[in-house]
Amino acid sequence: MQRYRNFNGNSGVSAYEIGDDYIKIEFNKNATYVYNYQTAGQENIEKMKLLAQSGKGLSTFISRHVKDKFVHSA
């Protein structure tokens, strides 16, 4: 997993892992969720990948657009 840069300083996201059709998100509370094309939609996953790599806006996007549309938590 790559550390989320968190440029705003107040994100609940701590790390992420990008796959071809998914993104795995680790939150500060040690909860990890996997979102994929099937559950959250390709457009949302691709946007999440860009936000993760930019280090800004990922947590807000998740709470506004995909919330509970994850495959599973680890």
Ramachandran region, residue 41 (left: φ > 0; alpha: ψ -120 to 50; beta: rest): left
Give pTM, 2 decimals.
Answer: 0.91
- Three-state DSSP at 26 gives strand
pLDDT for the residue 8: 73
CA dist., res. 30 & res. 21, Å (int): 23
Mean pLDDT of 31-44: 96
| Domain boundaries, given as residue ranges, for the chain | 2-73
pLDDT for the residue 60: 94
SS (H, E, C) 40-72: HCHHHHHHHHHHHHHCCCHHHHHHHHHCCCCCE
